[in-house]
Structures are given as C-alpha cells and as structure tokens.
Copies of this chain bind each other. A is one copy, B any other.
Amino acid sequence: MTSTLPPAVDPARIQEVLDGRWAHVRRDARDSLRGPDLLPVYGETVAEARERVTRAVRRLADTGRVFLGFPEEYGGDGDPGGSVVAVEMLAFADLSVMVKAGVQWGLFGGAVELLGTRRHHDAHLRDIMAFDLPGCFAMTETGHGSDVQQLRTTCTYDPATGTFDLHTPHPAARKDYIGNAAKDGRAAVVFAQLVTGGRPHGVHAWLVPIREADGRPRPGVTIEDDGPKAGLNGVDNGRLSFDHVTLPREALLDRFGQVHEDGTYESPIENETRRFFTMLGTLVRGRVSVGGAAGSATKLALDIAVRYGEVRRQFTVPGAEREVLLNDYLVHQRKLLPALATTYALHFAQDELVVRMHELQVARADGRADGRADRAQVGGFVDEAPQRELESRAAGLKAAQTWHATRIIQLCREACGGAGYLQENRLPHLKADTDVFTTFEGDNTVLLQLVAKGLLTGYREEFGSLDGWGRAAFIADLVRETVLERTAARALIARLVDAVPGRDDDVPLLDRGWQLRMFEFREKHLLDGAIRRLRRGAPARDADQFAVFNAVQDHLLATAEAHVDRVVLEAFVAGVERTSDPDARRLLDAVCDLHALATIEARKGWFLEHGRLTPARAKAVTATVNALVAQLRPHLVTLVDAFAIPDEWKGAAVLREEAGRQEAMAAHDALLRQGHRQGTATALEVVPAQ
C-alpha cells in the first residue's frame, strides 16, 4: 500500500509499537537483566552450565521479577500477560535460564497454582516463587509425549491408609526430559492415572517430594540424568521413576477432582476427557511462552546477521575501491528481509495472543475471587469456546514461531559464513537451544492437528485432545458451515476485504484487502475441502476410522497452516493500524506488504492450482517482492534497531570486531593504492592482484 518510504525512520517510533502493552516489562528487562551468569558462557561444560544457570535463576528469584504471574495475595502481580512477556525478554539473554525459569515458575509453579487449591498455595507458593522449593513438571513419559492422556504412571488411593501409591509400572512409564530433575528439583508435580475404588478416573497431578534436603533421592524415587543434549545444556533434564511411593491424600492437586477419605471421587467436570483437557488448558501459558521465546531468539539472530552484513564485504566490482557489502547483494536481501518481515508479523500475532490469554485468565481469576465456582466456568460452552480458541491459537502460533525460528536462525548462521559457526558469535547457541522448541510443549505437527480439529469443530463439541482422530468423520459432520473466526481487528479486516473489487486481476498486489482475501480464500477452501473429504470417507466400521483420518492428514495440516497464516497477517495489519507515527506506519506498511506477498509467493503453487493467481500475476508477485526488498534495503538496520536488544545481550564477538578489521583493511589498501600512484610502492606494499 506504500509508494514511497521516508528516507529514514526513527527506530524508537517502531519500538514503541512493538513494545506494546507490556512496554514497562520490556524496559525493565532491558535495564535490569545484567550480570555474567545471565548470558551463555562459550565453551562451558554441561556441569558448569548447570551451575551457572542455577545461580542465575536463584538471582532472578531474589529480584522478584519472576513473580509477575502469581496471585497478589502471595506477593505476585496477578499479571499473566506480563509474566509471558518477561519470559520472552529472558530468552534474549540465555535460553537455558529462560527454560529453567519457565519450568520453575511457569510449569511447576503454574501447576501448583492452577491445579491445586488453597492448602497447596498456602503451603508452597511462596517457597516456589523464592526458588526455595525447586520443582519439576513431570508429565511426559518415555513412552508418551504427545499423547499425554495415555500416561502409564499410576497413582492409586487406598482408603485403609488414606494414602496414594505412586508407581511406574514399566520403563515406558518413566518420566523423561523433565527439567530441574537431574540436579536441583526437590519436588515435582507428577501426572499419573488416578485410581480409586478400583476405578480409573484419568490423569491427575500430585505434588511429590523427590529429594531430601541433602539432595539424595527420596526412598522409592529413582532419578536419572538425561545427559548432554543438543543444546539447553544449562537445564538439568532427567528421568524419574517411582517404586510404590506413598503420598498423603493432600498431595493430590485437587482443583478439578477430589478424592474423599473413603475413596469417593468427585469432580466438577464429569467427562474424563473434558476434565483432563480442562486441566491442561489452564497450563496454556507455557506454550505461549515458548512461542514468544522462539521469537526473541529469531530477532537476536537476525540482529546479528543484519549487522554483520552491514559491515562485512566480499568480492570486488569494477570501479569501486571497496568490496561489496553483503547486504547489498539481492540474494542476501532476499534472505534477510522476508525473514525479518515475517518475524515482525509473528511478533504482532504473539502480542495479540498474549493480550487474549491475559484477559481470559484475569477474568477467570476475578471470577474465582468473586466466589463463582470453577464448576460453572469449566462446564458450559459459554466459557469454553474462548478458552478452546485460545488454546488453538497458542498451539498454531507456537508451531509457526518455533519452525520459523529453526529456519531463520539457520539462515542467519549461514549468512555469517564461518563466523556464524563459532560459539563466540552466539548463533550456535541460539540454534542449538531453540531446536527442541519444535517438539517440546507439544510436537508442532501434532499441534497443527489440534488447530485443524478446532477449525472443524468450531471449538465447541470437542476438546483439545491430540488423539488419533478416531472420530474424524463424525467431527466433520458436526460442522454446518465454515465461518472464519475473526481476529482482533475484525472490523478493520472486514472493511479492507469488502472494499476489494470482485476480480483479482484488476487489483494492485499492494492492496491490503486483496492480500487478506487471498489468505482467507486459502483457509476457507482448504477447510471446506477437508470437511468434504472427511464426510465422503466416513467409514461404516470403527476400525476404518484411522484410514479415513490418515488419508486426509496432509490436507488437515495444510488447513491449519493456512489458518495460522491468516491469523498472523491479520494481527500484523491490526498492528500497522494502531501505529500513530506516520513515518513508522509507512515503513511497517511496507514490511507488512513484504510479509504478505512473500507468503503468497511461497504458496503460489497452491494459488495457481486453484485459479487464484494467473501465471502473469504470479510472476508479478515475485517482481513486487524484489521491488519491496529494494525499497526496504535502506531500512534494514532500522528494522533490527527497533527490537532494542541491548548490546550486552548479543555476545557476538564479530559484531565488536568486524567493522574495525574492515576499516584497517580499507586503510591499508588505500595506502597501497597511493603508493602505486606515486610510484613509491615497495615490494611489500604492492596491491594484491585485481
């Protein structure tokens, strides 16, 4: 939508827009996250990394900055959105610290808060907040990571003793990849199948002491070390097994299910699957945080690659005294600028997601404080749909952000050549540490299935189950029509889309309404097609349900991808809309164009196949992307400046050194040229062959 850009834009104006509602949390992090332990130390051993990260987390606890998300009555700020933004900022410093903090205060503390009740809060929340009770979130088992409803650990109530028996029946039921387990954890929230009165009641959680004060494992608890990983070596991941460990009845985190002394089971949510996914749903914050952290790592990698490309030169051109800057090569711009544009888009989508999560959670907390029962809130559709939608959004964006991070950090590594491979230039850590994000807190492929399922059911009848889609055909039958769920900028988007004339070919490629309509069309068409295929395939026998689902699986994932594409673009459009500074707005507008058209270009095969791009128009998309890239080239550094990443956090030697080296070389080359012109060149000072 932009024809010309201002020659220069103040990055502070863009930063204001990016910083958004929790600007104060971001500013505080930039000012206060200091000290050697908070940054990765290159070449440290696994043991050293763990020690450092434990110190860093302890220091964070001492500052109280990690209490944002906890209830005010326990000394927190009751600010769930702020707590996610704080994690996002921590990710700029060191991802091991971020993950360890996320385990302690997000997963472990969050589970005690959200699955437990007042007696658990009173007894433990302050210790957890202060890191005086380091803990684990022991859900995943060696045999079950994605399908956690099928966990094999059991916890059986015996009314005779009034105690639970926690047990690991076989090696596949061992808790695995558990952060804080190998070294620091004193307690764990352990998820297991609750059995009482001879009947199973599905997965519940218990607060379980796992280590004595002196660090030895408690009787019946076996702790193993997961050993060195690809990255995140400052996090002490480990394995926990339980050999008939006795727990008091009070150990059950009983907000969603209580076991009375006589063994009677009671829950405000009757359906076991619904109950489990309601419990899981309260923990959505972890998934939102991982997406945000992936975004931070991507921004940092782009910051390093863009600044390197702005001083690094290679290859001579006729008539120029100095070699060409990497950032002046079309192909280098073609790598960095669309990556940056999509990073912006994802930032706005993340921002919108955090706001939505915050408002829902604050409303719930207020409801609880007002004395309304959980029962009412978790039982009916009224409250459930927005929660399911939030979970779906969190799942989809987590997948998009973490895959984007993996791809773009790799791109940045390569864009820095050999320097990008040295730990001293930070990119190896960013890459190795974020790698696992694509499969932890939900495997991305499984998460996209969850998104597709939400689209099929309209977030109503079904739960966040990640199961094998046994009833896929049935689900599809429930959907009467596909209506695109609108994002925050509903009215604006609708206005833009409606303003576009009917025929695509008459509309300029930079028309925002047309871009939005293309994204909408793709989502709707894929969703309609998926529903049709599922209905058509509806099997007569249960046993054939898997085959029906499996034949459509790739189609469903494409549908989820198209949905996330649209949500992300709409968030970016809304972000541009609320930018008041005119120069910043014009620049963001062009970045949004680049994101939209580069995405359409990446999916052009699909659009051509479905008659929504003519060959000529598809070629015009590519030409326009190139034109936008050229237009944005002068603003490349501005766009990373706007991330406002403090220099101390970057830890890339090459950013400190390369400019000086290039200057020294240029000065030396100039001397040689001068000597040549004056005929005074000595043998040693001769210009290298041109």
Residues of A within 8 A of B (CB): 42-43, 45-46, 140, 142-147, 149-152, 154, 156-158, 165, 167, 169-173, 176-177, 193, 195-203, 226-231, 272-273, 314-320, 323-324, 328-331, 334, 406, 410, 413-414, 417-418, 420-424, 427-428, 431-432, 435-436, 438-440, 443-445, 466-468, 470, 541-543, 545-546, 550-551, 553-554, 557, 601, 604-605, 608-611, 615, 618-619, 626, 657, 660-662, 664-665, 668, 681-684, 686-689
How far is the CB of A221 from the nearest CB of chain B, in Å?
Answer: 18
* Partner of A689 from B172, B197, B200, B689 at Cβ < 8 Å: B200
Q: Residues of B contacting A158 with CB < 8 Å?
A: 683
- Known A-B contacts A665-B152, A683-B195; A330 and B146 likewise in contact (beta carbons under 8 Å): no
Query: A686–B176 Cα gap in the complex (Å)?
Result: 23
B626 touches A615 (CB 8 A): no
- Known A-B contacts A173-B665, A230-B432, A428-B229; A688 and B151 likewise in contact (beta carbons under 8 Å): yes
A42 touches B228 (CB 8 A): yes
What are 26 A-B residue pairs whose CB atoms fall within 8 Å in the complex? A45-B45, A146-B417, A147-B323, A149-B689, A150-B316, A152-B665, A167-B684, A171-B661, A172-B662, A177-B418, A193-B686, A226-B422, A229-B423, A230-B423, A317-B545, A318-B545, A320-B546, A329-B550, A417-B443, A418-B436, A418-B439, A421-B440, A428-B432, A601-B605, A608-B615, A609-B615
Q: Residues of B contacting A420 with CB < 8 Å?
A: 439
B684 touches A170 (CB 8 A): no
- Known A-B contacts A432-B432, A661-B143; A324 and B546 likewise in contact (beta carbons under 8 Å): yes
A423 touches B228 (CB 8 A): yes
A200 touches B686 (CB 8 A): yes
Query: A687–B323 Cα gap in the complex (Å)?
Result: 70
How far is the CB of A262 from the nearest CB of chain B, in Å?
Answer: 14
User: A195-B684, A610-B615 known; 17 other A-B pairs, CB under 8 Å?
Assistant: A145-B314, A147-B315, A154-B688, A171-B661, A173-B665, A193-B688, A199-B686, A229-B423, A230-B431, A316-B467, A317-B545, A319-B543, A320-B543, A324-B546, A330-B554, A414-B443, A432-B432
Q: Residues of B contacting A331 with CB < 8 Å?
A: 445, 553-554, 557
**Which 10 pairs, one residue from A and one from B, show the smallest C-beta to C-beta distance?**
A230-B428, A315-B468, A605-B605, A608-B608, A43-B228, A318-B542, A319-B543, A604-B605, A172-B665, A317-B546
